[in-house]
Amino acid sequence: MSMLHGSHPLKALALAVGATLLTTTAYAAPIHVTNGNDSGEGSMRAALIAVAEGIADSVIVTSKDDIMINTTLTYTGQAPIAIYGNGQIIKTAKNTDLLAVSQGADLNISGLKFEGPGGFSIQNRGDLTGAAGKGIFVNLRDNQTGTLTVTLNDVEVSGVAYHGIHISDCDIAKDCGAGAGGEGGGSPASIAVNAYNLNIHNVGYGRVDGDGLRVDERNEGNILFTAHNSRFNKVGADGVELDEGQNGDVIVNVSNVDFSNNGGYCQKDLLQPLLPSPVEAEFKDGEMSADKVPTEITGSADDKCFEREVDLYASGSVEAYEFGIDFDDGFDIDEAGNGSIKTVLYSSTIHNNLDEGLDFDEEGEGDIEITVIDSAASGNTDDGFKMTEEENGNLTALISSGHADKNGGKGIVLEAKDAGKVAALIENSTTANNDSGKKSGLKIKGKGVITLKGSEITDGFKSKKAEIVKI
């Protein structure tokens, strides 16, 4: 058998196959959004579909037009997606989510604004005829592993009825609840959120518990939150709420961030006249029966805004009751189950929130480790900085050049309950004009040592078990 020009048949076959692959293999590339249409060729919706189908690997918005949508933009792929804009606005006149990532894909957004219709309030709710809209919603898969990463750079969210940004690893979705407790299940995955020049404002006024940025993490997995040069202002509920409901840590690194003027969805002037008088009372054993306590408040603009707590003696009679309006915080972290809260807060402001400024709670096995540097909390309706270790864990704090003044509650609260201990160094810091002005600058609960170095606690401190050392 002769060989043309001395070539080998296997080599010729390989060259032929290679040539075929070069001419038929498609390589994904960015897809461009060239207009502001709701759908169709060149639209954002078409671009998201192309990435989900593997035709493209990212989205670049080249159109100068804003993008007006009537229904949620949904990305259904599991591959990571990056969306790059240059200041364009994705907006809607409808009460709906603007962008949803439904299958737990990593998300990277740069240079875009998300704008809902706005105008929401407790008297103009967004949850009466359907679900209240969110700005960006990322939902993890039930079997997801590893770490979901959401990175937001030069992004703005405003005008939506519910959460500005919601990242959910909770299988009962909106019923997952707020605060500690750990209701619902989730995947073993962790959640990492990176926010750079993120601006969330005027969101969460269309239903109760609408946060600026909300992360719900259940099952195994950590929450890792990094924010720099960002703002969470004028939010109906918490500016930022991180809920780690079961096993896992909450690890936070924040610098140059403003958490201010949040928590006002439950409109005080409208709801306060509906509270019973007195709003709280204490009784001796046998003095007050449970059926005499004022009942839950109904018939208001939103009955979920009211809190009612009744404590009973072993005999069944009432020890105490208390009613209140559920306002919210500037920055709220709740960790339940096995895990710790580890936070660094640098050069940040926490002002004029309707409940606590900063409110961190850890329950279950785990500790709180917090560093606050060059940061201030003032004008908050309740405590300025509040950290509570609910069970047997320890609370370790460094507060350097921290300032707490004119808060309705205490300036700084450090609490370790049960067998936990408190260890804190408070240096070059000040508190003034908090609460009543008497023993209201610093409150310590639990055993331990608190060192005050070069600090002025002009409104005093209260500590029953911890030793206060001044140097």
- The per-residue pLDDT for range 56-113, each reduced to its tens digit, is 999 999 999 999 999 999 999 999 999 999 999 999 999 999 999 999 999 999 999 9
The string of pLDDT tens digits covering residues 439-457 is: 999 999 999 999 999 999 9
C-alpha 26/C-alpha 29 separation (Å) is 9
What burial class does residue 273 get, using C-beta atoms within 10 Å of its C-beta: 0-12 exposed, 13-18 middle, 19+ buried? Answer: exposed
What pLDDT, on the 0 to 100 scale, is given for residue 3? 39
| CB neighbourhood size of 72 (10 A) | 17
Beta bridge partners of 397: 370, 424
Cβ neighbours for 278, distance < 8 A, ≥ 6 positions apart = none
What pLDDT, on the 0 to 100 scale, is given for residue 230? 98
What mean pLDDT is predicted for residues 303-307?
Answer: 96
C-alpha 282/C-alpha 301 separation (Å) is 29
- Closest by CA to 185, choosing from 197, 169, 198, 196, is 169
The string of pLDDT tens digits covering residues 308-328 is: 999 999 999 999 999 999 999
CA angle at residue 419 from 413 to 421, to 5 degrees? 45
Query: What 8-state DSSP symbol labels residue 222?
Result: -
- Closest by CA to 136, choosing from 118, 109, 170, 174, is 109
- Which amino acid is present at 181? G
CA angle at residue 15 from 10 to 17, to 5 degrees? 95
Token representation of residue 131: 């679900």
What pLDDT, on the 0 to 100 scale, is given for residue 12? 44
Cβ neighbours for 274, distance < 8 A, ≥ 6 positions apart = 297, 300, 306
**pLDDT of 461 above 80:** yes
**pLDDT of 177 above 70:** no
What pLDDT, on the 0 to 100 scale, is given for residue 178? 54
In this prediction, residue 19 has a pLDDT band, given cuts at 50, 70 and 90, of: very low
What pLDDT, on the 0 to 100 scale, is given for residue 181? 53
| CB neighbourhood size of 271 (10 A) | 19
Q: Which helix (H) or strand (E) holds 19?
A: helix 9-24
What pLDDT, on the 0 to 100 scale, is given for residue 186? 85
C-alpha 423/C-alpha 418 separation (Å) is 15
Collapsing DSSP states into helix, strand and coil, what is residue 273?
A: helix
What burial class does residue 470 get, using C-beta atoms within 10 Å of its C-beta: 0-12 exposed, 13-18 middle, 19+ buried? Answer: exposed
Query: What separation in angstroms does the CA of 417 have from each of 320, 364, 411, 448?
Result: 21, 11, 19, 11
- Closest by CA to 137, choosing from 118, 119, 153, 161, is 161
**pLDDT of 175 above 80:** no
The string of pLDDT tens digits covering residues 349-395 is: 999 999 999 999 999 889 999 999 999 999 999 999 999 999 889 99
Q: What percent of the chain has pLDDT over 70?
A: 92
Sign of the four-CA dihedral 206, 211, 217, 218 = negative
Query: What separation in angstroms does the CA of 159 have from each of 115, 196, 237?
Result: 6, 20, 14
Phi, psi (rounded to 5 degrees) for 400 = -120, 125
Do residues 74 and 46 touch, judged by C-beta distance below 8 A? no
C-alpha 191/C-alpha 97 separation (Å) is 21
Query: What separation in angstroms does the CA of 12 have from each of 22, 23, 438?
Result: 16, 17, 92
Do residues 31 and 56 touch, judged by C-beta distance below 8 A? yes
Collapsing DSSP states into helix, strand and coil, what is residue 166?
A: strand
Do residues 242 and 250 touch, judged by C-beta distance below 8 A? yes
What pLDDT, on the 0 to 100 scale, is given for residue 184? 76
Query: What separation in angstroms does the CA of 4 have from each of 1, 10, 11, 20, 288?
Result: 10, 13, 12, 21, 108
Predicted model pTM: 0.91
- Closest by CA to 444, choosing from 410, 408, 398, 419, is 410
Residue count (the chain): 471
- Which amino acid is present at 110? S
What pLDDT, on the 0 to 100 scale, is given for residue 418? 83
**pLDDT of 265 above 90:** yes
What mean pLDDT is predicted for residues 169-185?
Answer: 68
Q: What percent of the chain has pLDDT over 90?
A: 85
What pLDDT, on the 0 to 100 scale, is given for residue 90? 98
Q: What is the mean pLDDT of the chain?
A: 92
What pLDDT, on the 0 to 100 scale, is given for residue 436? 80
Phi, psi (rounded to 5 degrees) for 411 = -70, -55
What pLDDT, on the 0 to 100 scale, is given for residue 174? 63
